[in-house]
C-alpha cells in the first residue's frame, strides 16, 4: 500500500515538475521572442508573435492632371475606382507555377462572374476560329517577340524566334519552359488570359514588390468576394485606383488620345528624363496625353509597408504623398468641335445620297469623268458585310433568325464551290491569270497575299527580272499554281515555315504542304469570307430584302412599329429602306466606308494661331482604349475600312489642288513675273512646254485675266504661265528646276515645308520637286495635311503672320494656380506690299461671291477651292480654304473631303460651319442628326 502511494506521489511530483517545466519553457520562448528579432538583410523579415513580416518599399502613383477645353469643359479626368492587383508572393520551386496559375484562375473567375473585365494588354488574341493570332505587326511585333524571349534588341532573335507564329509563341509561354499553364488543361481563351497576366507579372519581376493591375473599375461585388477570399487568393488585393474618362469621346479622341500601360520602348525613352517610371506605369500613348506627358504625369510618392505571408498589409511607415500632375487647358472649343464633327457626317451622308443609284453596278458612260462616278445600291449591301456592320459570325449562331440562316446557307454553298474550284485551279486546271474573271483574280490575289504575308513566299528572294516571274506578275499568262511550283524550284519559298518532317522534301511534297496551308487559312478567315459574301450578294444568292431584315434582326437599326408594318407589308422597297437608314444616320458614312466616307476640318484664330477645332471624321471612342484596351473594340476598329484611328486632319496628305494658287500668286508678285494688273490671256490649252496642260475650262477659255480674276476663276492657264515664267533661266530658257526652287521658297514662307506646330501626331508635308508648271496649280508632288493648309490660309487671312499653330492654352496646378501660359510662336512673317495682299484677298472674296448658296450668309467670307485627282478609279478629293469675316478676319478654316468629287461640297460644308460659329441660325437647325441637303451643284472649276 505504502509502495503504491509512494509511486503515486513520485508520479504526481514528476508530472507537476514536467508541467512547470513546460510552462517555464513556454514563458521562456515568449520572453526570448520578445527580446530577439531575426533580421534578414534585403527583405528584412521579422519574426514577431511567430509571424513572418516582409518590408517593402512601394511607390505611389500620382493622380494624372485633367484636360480642359478653352472654356473649362472637361475633356479628360480621373474617376475613383477599385482595381484588382496581383503580386507574385510564391516561393520558387516546382509547385510555384501550379499555385500561382490556380490563384490567377480563381481570380479571373470571380472577376468575370460579376461582369467585370480583365485589363491586361497582350499582343495575342484568340480569333473566331479558335486560333491564336497576333494583334500587332511589323516592328511592334518584332519588339514584342524580343521582349517575350528576354532580348533587348529584335536583331538578337534566332530565326525560329523571329518567325514564330502566335500558336508557337503560346505553346512556349504556356509550356513547362515558362508558365506551365497548359498543365491546367484549359481552353485557349482561358489559357491566354492566364498567360497574359503571368507575362505582365514577369515584366515587373526585376522590381521587387510591384503589384500588377489585372482588372480596373471593378464592381462592389467583385471587391467584396475577393476580400472575403483573401486567405486563399495569396498575393491578390483590392486597391483604390483611378480610371481615365473622356466625356467628349469620339469628338476629341484624335486630339486627346488615350493612356495605357507603358511599352518597353516608351519606358526606355521616359526614363531618360525621369528614372521613377516603372514597367507597370500608365502613360499617354498618343495625342495630347502622350505629347504632354511631363505636364500631366505628376510626381510619385513612396512608403514603406510591412506585409504578412498572405500579402496583407500589417503596417505602413515613411509615407510620402505623391504630387498630382498639372491640369492642361487646350485652345479648342469642344462645342464647336462636336458641331463640326456632326456637320461633316451630315454632309457626307447627303453626298452619298446624292450619288446613290438603284443598280447593281456603275457603268461609266463614254467620256465620263471621276465627277460622274455613282454609288450602286448593291455596293451599300456589300459594304454592310464587308465593313462588319452585319455580324457574319452571328448568322450561324444558335440565336440566328430565319433570314440570318438563309444568308449563311447561301454563303456556305458559295464558299464550298469557291474552295473546290480554287483547289482545282491550283492543281489541275491552271488557267492563266489574265483569262480569269475579276472575281477569280481577286481570290487568287488573296492566296498570293497569304503566301507573302506569312513569309512562305519570300519577297526578298524573288528575282523580278526572271522571265517566268514576269509571265505571272506582268504578262499574266501563267496560272498561280504554275507560279508557286516555279517559286519552289527557284528556292523562293521558305520551307522552314512549312514545318516539313523532312527538310529535304521533294517539290511535290512542298507544294502539297502549301496547298494544305492555303486550305486551312481560307477555311478559317473572316477577310476571305467577306470577299465571298461580296459575290454572294452580287449574284443575288442573298436578296436585298433579306439583308435589310438582318439589320433589323441584329438590332443594328431600331424602327417604329408603324415603319416596320409598312416594311413587312412590302410597301417599302429595300432601296428606299436603305435611303431612309442613311438619311437618318442609322447607317453612317463611316459604317459604309464607301467614297466619300472621311473628311477633316481645322479652324484657327487668325490673330493668335490658336486652333479652335481640329476635326477628323470618322473617329473612335478613346474610353475603350484607355484603362486597358477593350480587345473586341480594338479588333473592330482595326478592321474598319474607314480607318477611324487615323487623324484625317493631321495625318492624311493629298495634293492641295487650286488652294495652292495663293502661294503661286505670292511668288509671281514677289519675283516680278506678274503684277496686280498684268493680263494673261487664257487660251484653254497651255502649250509652251513639251507636255500640254489644259485649263479646267478647256475646250473653253477664260480670256484675259488679271491676278484677282485668275484666283476668282481658278484659271489654270494663268497659273501655268506664272509657273512657266518663274522657271526661266538667265538666258530666258525654261528650266523646271529653277521654277520648282522659287515655288518652294514661297511655300516655305507660308510654313508648307514644315509641320504646322500642333502638339499631336502629324505627317510631314511635301513641297513639289517635279514639274514646275503643273506644280503651279497644286499638282506635281505637292502633298499637305489639312492642318498644314489651315496654317497657310491663316497667314493669308492676317496678311503674312505665319504661326506655329498650337493646341495649348495654359497649365495650372491642381489648385488652379497658373503654371504656364502658352502662346503660338511666330514661324515667319511675309513682308509683302499691301496692294499684293489686297489683290489676293479680292480674288478669294470673289470665289465665294460666285456661289449663290453662300450669299445666304450675312457674314462675308473669302476662300479658295481646290480639287485633287489621285486615281481615275475613284472620285477626286475636294478642298476649300477660307476666312471670315472678310474685312476683319477672326477665323480661318481648311476643309478636305477625301474622294469628295468636287470642292463645291467643301464650300457648302463651310457655310454650315460658319453659320454655327457666328450663331446666325439656331444650332439645332444646323446640327440636325440627319443627312444634310447639298446646296452645291458639284460644278467644275478648280
400 vs 224, 405, 548, 551, 934, CA distance in Å? 38, 6, 15, 12, 39
> Contacts from 123-130 at CB under 8 Å and sequence distance 24+?
124/166, 124/169, 124/170, 124/192, 124/196, 125/192, 125/631, 125/635, 126/188, 126/189, 126/192, 127/524, 127/526, 128/393, 128/526, 129/524, 129/525, 130/188
| 277-281, 687-691, 709-713, range with the lowest pLDDT | 277-281
pLDDT at 919 over 60: yes
138 vs 6, 125, 154, 162, 398, CA distance in Å? 94, 17, 11, 11, 38
Outline where 430-542 has alpha helix (H): 438-453, 467-473, 480-489, 507-523, 526-538
Cell of 50: 511567430
**What is the model's pLDDT at position 621?**
98
**What is the model's pLDDT at position 124?**
92
Whole-angstrom Cα distance, residue 434 to residue 438?
9
837: closest CA among 590, 665, 652, 611?
665
| 38-47, 575-584, 821-830, range with the lowest pLDDT | 38-47
Classify strands 693-694 and 685-686 as parallel, antiparallel or unpaired.
antiparallel
∠ CA 205-210-211, nearest 5°, is: 110
Whole-angstrom Cα distance, residue 581 to residue 587?
6
Answer whether 623's CB lies under 8 Å from 249's CB. yes
Dump pLDDT digits (tens) for 732-785.
999 999 999 999 999 999 999 999 999 999 999 999 999 999 999 999 999 999
Of residues 130 and 267, which shows the higher confidence score? Answer: 267
Answer whether 259's CB lies under 8 Å from 64's CB. yes
Which distant-in-sequence residues (6+ apart) come within 8 Å of 241 by Cβ?
A: 80, 81, 82, 83, 213, 216
**What is the model's pLDDT at position 870?**
87
Q: Which helix (H) or strand (E) holds 765?
A: none
For residues 539-550, average pLDDT = 98
Angle of helix 544-553 relative to helix 377-386, nearest 10 degrees, comes to 40
Band (pLDDT 50/70/90 cuts) for residue 49 is: very low
699 vs 658, 683, 702, 869, 919, CA distance in Å? 19, 9, 10, 19, 43
Residue 244's SS3 state is strand
Residues in the chain: 942
Which distant-in-sequence residues (6+ apart) come within 8 Å of 710 by Cβ?
A: 661, 665, 680, 702, 718, 719, 843
Answer whether 606's CB lies under 8 Å from 861's CB. no
**What is the model's pLDDT at position 35?**
39
Phi, psi of 792 (to 5 degrees): -60, -50
Answer whether 786's CB lies under 8 Å from 600's CB. yes
330: closest CA among 261, 254, 266?
254
Average pLDDT, rounded, for the chain: 91
Dump pLDDT digits (tens) for 548-572.
999 999 999 999 999 999 999 999 9
Phi, psi of 293 (to 5 degrees): -55, -45
For residues 466-489, average pLDDT = 96
**What is the model's pLDDT at position 311?**
57
**Dihedral of the CA atoms 189, 194, 199, 205 (nearest 10)?**
180
**What is the model's pLDDT at position 939?**
59
For residues 832-849, average pLDDT = 98
Band (pLDDT 50/70/90 cuts) for residue 205 is: low
Cell of 625: 482604349
Whole-angstrom Cα distance, residue 168 to residue 183?
17
435 vs 420, 440, 476, CA distance in Å? 19, 10, 8
Of residues 308 and 598, which shows the higher confidence score? Answer: 598
pLDDT at 43 over 70: no
Band (pLDDT 50/70/90 cuts) for residue 307 is: confident
Band (pLDDT 50/70/90 cuts) for residue 22 is: very low
Whole-angstrom Cα distance, residue 892 to residue 580?
35
761: closest CA among 647, 653, 610, 654?
647
pLDDT at 652 over 50: yes
Cell of 545: 430584302
Dump pLDDT digits (tens) for 859-896.
999 999 999 988 888 999 999 999 999 999 999 999 99
In this structure, the number of other CB atoms found within 10 A of the CB of residue 408 comes to: 18
**What is the model's pLDDT at position 207?**
56
Amino acid at each position: 500500500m505504502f509502495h503504491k502511494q509512494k509511486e503515486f506521489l513520485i508520479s504526481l511530483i514528476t508530472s507537476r515538475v514536467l508541467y512547470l517545466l513546460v510552462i517555464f519553457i513556454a514563458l521562456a520562448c515568449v520572453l526570448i521572442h520578445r527580446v530577439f528579432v531575426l533580421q534578414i538583410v534585403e527583405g528584412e523579415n521579422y519574426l514577431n508573435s511567430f509571424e513572418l513580416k516582409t518590408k517593402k518599399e512601394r511607390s505611389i502613383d500620382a493622380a494624372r492632371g485633367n484636360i480642359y477645353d478653352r472654356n473649362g469643359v472637361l475633356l479628360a479626368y480621373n474617376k475613383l475606382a477599385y482595381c484588382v492587383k496581383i503580386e507574385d508572393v510564391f516561393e520558387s520551386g516546382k509547385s510555384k507555377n501550379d499555385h500561382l496559375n490556380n490563384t490567377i484562375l480563381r481570380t479571373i473567375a470571380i472577376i468575370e462572374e460579376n461582369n467585370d473585365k480583365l485589363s491586361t494588354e497582350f499582343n495575342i488574341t484568340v480569333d473566331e476560329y479558335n486560333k491564336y493570332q497576333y494583334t500587332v505587326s511589323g516592328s511592334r511585333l518584332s519588339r514584342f517577340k524580343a521582349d517575350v524571349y528576354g532580348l533587348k534588341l529584335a536583331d538578337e532573335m534566332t530565326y525560329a524566334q523571329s518567325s514564330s507564329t502566335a500558336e508557337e509563341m503560346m505553346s512556349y509561354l504556356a509550356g513547362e519552359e515558362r508558365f506551365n499553364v497548359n498543365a491546367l488543361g484549359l481552353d485557349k481563351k482561358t489559357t491566354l488570359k492566364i498567360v497574359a497576366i503571368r507575362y505582365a507579372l514577369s515584366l515587373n519581376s526585376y522590381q521587387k514588390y510591384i503589384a500588377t493591375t489585372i482588372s480596373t473599375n471593378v464592381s462592389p461585388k467583385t471587391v467584396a468576394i475577393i476580400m472575403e477570399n483573401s486567405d486563399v487568393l495569396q498575393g491578390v488585393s483590392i486597391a483604390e485606383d483611378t480610371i481615365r474618362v473622356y466625356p467628349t469621346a469620339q469628338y476629341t479622341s484624335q486630339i486627346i488620345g488615350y493612356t495605357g500601360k507603358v511599352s518597353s520602348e516608351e519606358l526606355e525613352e521616359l526614363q531618360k528624363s525621369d528614372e521613377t517610371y516603372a514597367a507597370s506605369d500608365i502613360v499617354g500613348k498618343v495625342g495630347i496625353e502622350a505629347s504632354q506627358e511631363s505636364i500631366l504625369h505628376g510626381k510619385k510618392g513612396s512608403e514603406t509597408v510591412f506585409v504578412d505571408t498572405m500579402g496583407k498589409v500589417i503596417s505602413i511607415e515613411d509615407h510620402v504623398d505623391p504630387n498630382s500632375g498639372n491640369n492642361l487647358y487646350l485652345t479648342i472649343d469642344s462645342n464647336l468641335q462636336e458641331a463640326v464633327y456632326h456637320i461633316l457626317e451630315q454632309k457626307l451622308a447627303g453626298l452619298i445620297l446624292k450619288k446613290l443609284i438603284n443598280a447593281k453596278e456603275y457603268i461609266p458612260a463614254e467620256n465620263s469623268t471621276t465627277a460622274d462616278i455613282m454609288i450602286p445600291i448593291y455596293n451599300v449591301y456589300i459594304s454592310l458585310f464587308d465593313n462588319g456592320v452585319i455580324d457574319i459570325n452571328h448568322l450561324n449562331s444558335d440565336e440566328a433568325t430565319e433570314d440570318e440562316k438563309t444568308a449563311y446557307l447561301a454563303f456556305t454553298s458559295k464558299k464550298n464551290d469557291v474552295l473546290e474550284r480554287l483547289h482545282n485551279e491550283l492543281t489541275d486546271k491552271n488557267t492563266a491569270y489574265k483569262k480569269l474573271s475579276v472575281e477569280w483574280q481577286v481570290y487568287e490575289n488573296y492566296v498570293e497575299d497569304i503566301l507573302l504575308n506569312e513569309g512562305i513566299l519570300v519577297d526578298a528572294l524573288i528575282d523580278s527580272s526572271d522571265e517566268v516571274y514576269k509571265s505571272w506578275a506582268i504578262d499574266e499568262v501563267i496560272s498561280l499554281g504554275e507560279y508557286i511550283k516555279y517559286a519552289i524550284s527557284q528556292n523562293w519559298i521558305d520551307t522552314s515555315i512549312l514545318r516539313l518532317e523532312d527538310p529535304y522534301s521533294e517539290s511535290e511534297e512542298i507544294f502539297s504542304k502549301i496547298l494544305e496551308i492555303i486550305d486551312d487559312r481560307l477555311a478559317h478567315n473572316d477577310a476571305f469570307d467577306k470577299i465571298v459574301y461580296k459575290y454572294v450578294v452580287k449574284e443575288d444568292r442573298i436578296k436585298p430584302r433579306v439583308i435589310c431584315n438582318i439589320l433589323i434582326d441584329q438590332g443594328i437599326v431600331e424602327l417604329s412599329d408603324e415603319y416596320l408594318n409598312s416594311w413587312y407589308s412590302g410597301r417599302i422597297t429595300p432601296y428606299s429602306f436603305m435611303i431612309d437608314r442613311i438619311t437618318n444616320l442609322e447607317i453612317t458614312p463611316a459604317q459604309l466606308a464607301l467614297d466619300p466616307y472621311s473628311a477633316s476640318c481645322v479652324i484657327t484664330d487668325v490673330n493668335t494661331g490658336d486652333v479652335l477645332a481640329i476635326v477628323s471624321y470618322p473617329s473612335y471612342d478613346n474610353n475603350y482604349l484607355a484603362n486597358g484596351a477593350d480587345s473586341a473594340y480594338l479588333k473592330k476598329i482595326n478592321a474598319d475600312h474607314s480607318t477611324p484611328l487615323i487623324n484625317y486632319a493631321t495625318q492624311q496628305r493629298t495634293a492641295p489642288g487650286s488652294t495652292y494658287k495663293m502661294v503661286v500668286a505670292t511668288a509671281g508678285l514677289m519675283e516680278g513675273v506678274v503684277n496686280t494688273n498684268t493680263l494673261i490671256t487664257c487660251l484653254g490649252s497651255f502649250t509652251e512646254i513639251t507636255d500640254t496642260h489644259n485649263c479646267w475650262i478647256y475646250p473653253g477659255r477664260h480670256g484675259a485675266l488679271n491676278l484677282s480674276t485668275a484666283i476668282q476663276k481658278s484659271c489654270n492657264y494663268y497659273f501655268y504661265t506664272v509657273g512657266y515664267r518663274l522657271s526661266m533661266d538667265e538666258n530666258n530658257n525654261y528650266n523646271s528646276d529653277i521654277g520648282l526652287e522659287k515655288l518652294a521658297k514661297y511655300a516655305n514662307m507660308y510654313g508648307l515645308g514644315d509641320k504646322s506646330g500642333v502638339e499631336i501626331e502629324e505627317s510631314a508635308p511635301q513641297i513639289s520637286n517635279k514639274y514646275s508648271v503643273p506644280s503651279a496649280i497644286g499638282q506635281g508632288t505637292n502633298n499637305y495635311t489639312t492642318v498644314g493648309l489651315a496654317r497657310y490660309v491663316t497667314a493669308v487671312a492676317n496678311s503674312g503672320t505665319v504661326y506655329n499653330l498650337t493646341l495649348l492654352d495654359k497649365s495650372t496646378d491642381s489648385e488652379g494656380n497658373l503654371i504656364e501660359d502658352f502662346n503660338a510662336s511666330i514661324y515667319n512673317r511675309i513682308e509683302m506690299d499691301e496692294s499684293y495682299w489686297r489683290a489676293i484677298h479680292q480674288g478669294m472674296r470673289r470665289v465665294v461671291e460666285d456661289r449663290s448658296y453662300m450669299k445666304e450668309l450675312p457674314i462675308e467670307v473669302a476662300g479658295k477651292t481646290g480639287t485633287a485627282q489621285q486615281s481615275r478609279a475613284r472620285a477626286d478629293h475636294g478642298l476649300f480654304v477660307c476666312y471670315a469675316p472678310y474685312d476683319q478676319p477672326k477665323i480661318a478654316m481648311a476643309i478636305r473631303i477625301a474622294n469628295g468629287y468636287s470642292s463645291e461640297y467643301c464650300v457648302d460644308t463651310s457655310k454650315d460651319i460658319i453659320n454655327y460659329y457666328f450663331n446666325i441660325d439656331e444650332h439645332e437647325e444646323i446640327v440636325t442628326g440627319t443627312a444634310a441637303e447639298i446646296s452645291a451643284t458639284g460644278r467644275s472649276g478648280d
